[in-house]
Amino acid sequence: MGTDRKRLAAEKAAGYLKDGMIVGLGTGSTAYWAIREIGRLVKEGLSIQAIATSKPSEAHARRLGIPLVTFKDVDRIDITIDGADEVDTQLQVIKGGGGALLREKIVASATKELIIIVDDEKLVDQLGRFPLPVEIVPFGSERTLRQLDALGCNPELRMHEDTPFVTDNGNYTADCRLGQIEKPYELHEAINRMVGVVDNGLFLDMAHRIIIGCSDGTVNEWEKR
């Protein structure tokens, strides 16, 4: 089952934590298992402090007794454990399916070692099969969507029931159906140059380690060279 693969990857990643670390807590179904494992380790005596990438992850951590801090308290994070929507063979990543890409990217950018945990269904030869999330400002969002469309991104405003989905930052998310991303660096820059775009879900050259839970019950690791 996919849940078992996610749990295996999460437990392996949590094994890299050491006393005294500042830890970034990711968001999503795979990160859920990492937070749960970290909570177990804290209960057994692991001494860490953590920064969460979303309100749901923060609430989950509080319930498990994981001590939380903010960027008022710390400037750097030792390890962040987070999931992903896609990972390619170059350790490039698409994130944001869970609606927390901006906070995830802020935390990742402050992290010495970003560990991405996935099941083997998230592995691709080329990014783009999963729609690329783009966080956009609500004001003028119609124009921003038209700009994304003109770039060839085929954007679709993410909805929650009958209203636009709103991120923890009060923004909207446009899911861009690209099929394949031929030039990820150029696309990243072109999207982020648009007025009205906050950031996008391409996490390029940010992951240091990919931990993969496989269908046969094994766990593989890819490390940045």
Active-site residue, 58 included: no
How many whole angstroms separate alpha carbon 86 and alpha carbon 184? 13
* AA identity, residue 164: P
How many whole angstroms separate alpha carbon 43 and alpha carbon 130? 36
How many whole angstroms separate alpha carbon 49 and alpha carbon 21? 7
Residues 6+ apart with CB under 8 A from 177: 131, 153, 154, 155, 156
How many whole angstroms separate alpha carbon 183 and alpha carbon 186? 6
Residues 6+ apart with CB under 8 A from 200: 96, 101, 132, 133, 134, 135, 188, 191, 192
Q: Which residues pair with 211 in a beta bridge?
A: 117, 221
Task: Name the DSSP class of 152.
Answer: T
Please identify which of the residues 11, 58, 104, 135 carries the catalytic annotation. 104
Q: Which residue has the tokens 């402090």?
A: 49
Residues marked active site are found at 104
